[in-house]
Amino acid sequence: MTSEAVLRVEGMEALIARLGSVDAERFIASIIREPFDYTEWQKTLFDDLSIDELSEKAQVYSDANE
């Protein structure tokens, strides 16, 4: 299991790699500012996608991260 310090560093690196440093900071600020339940949010994250669309996105992600 990863320590919390390492988890924070790797998480921030992942956010910066994906969003850039400014939007990563904005994301963190928005999480801190508002009550946020990741588990509840995740339940509806892909509601607007069909099973086929979700499968295609998963395959593209998998191929890009091999």
pLDDT of res. 36: 77
The DSSP annotation for 19-66 comes to H-HHHHHHHHHHHHHS---HHHHHHTTTTTS-HHHHHHHHHHHHHHT-
Tens digits of residue pLDDT in 12-58: 999 999 999 999 999 999 888 888 788 888 888 888 899 999 999 89
> Which two three-digit tokens encode residue 42?
């995740």
pTM (two decimals): 0.54
